[in-house]
Amino acid sequence: VAAFGGIDVLVNNAGLGYFATFEESNRDQVRYMMDVNVWGLVDMTRAVLPIMRKQNHGVIVNFSSIGGLYSFPTLSFYHATKYAVEGLSESLAREVAKKGIKVLLIEPSGFRTDWAGRSSQKDLPTIADYAEYKEFIEANANGAHHEAGDPKKAAEIIYQQVTDNYADLPLRLPPGKISSDLAIEKYQENLDQFKQLRELSLSADQPE
């Protein structure tokens, strides 16, 4: 603020992963991940939000994940952090919309960063009933830096959206084919199920 007179964009990009079955997850690792993925984002946003409100403009870019929409085994607590980011971002977007502030959720799938490599802790299953998931965890570790997603292209898309598409900025952006496919699949499955349960859902209300 001292150097430029304001803050136009906040990018909450910090995040890490943790692979382990729900039952075998280490509580300390989970808490640390929650601190980084959720509370780090929260603290940065709360520090910048008063400045953006005073300006009556600004963009908050929150890095979620396709894991904020679609869940895989051995990532239950990672998903919990990203579902949290999704929920708080959607609510925040509604609260600040009339102040000219936009929120953009980025929901990538596998990109060639270090997320599946050294930036994620991995605890392999030791309970025999979960042995099948060892291969899944190892495959993710071995696939680091070989994913389909190109971080530079994603960054260019985000920059373009924030700078050139401010008026029509979407709330959610799932970069990459895998992310787009899974997002559509998840919402379509949910929509189909909600429709199937429509009459049952309505039956829970008091009669008019």
Write out the catalytic residue numbers.
64, 78, 82
For residue 173, what are the CA distances in angstroms to 63, 96, 109, 137? 10, 19, 11, 26
47 exposure class (CB count in 10 Å sphere: 0-12, 13-18, 19+): exposed
Nearest Cα to 18, choosing from 149, 105, 137?
Answer: 137
Q: How long, in residues, is the chain?
A: 208
Backbone angles phi, psi at 101, to 5 degrees: -100, 135
For residue 68, what are the CA distances in angstroms to 78, 101, 121, 155? 9, 22, 19, 19
In this structure, are residues 59 and 97 in contact, taking their beta carbons and an 8 Å threshold?
A: no
Structure tokens at 158: 């985000």
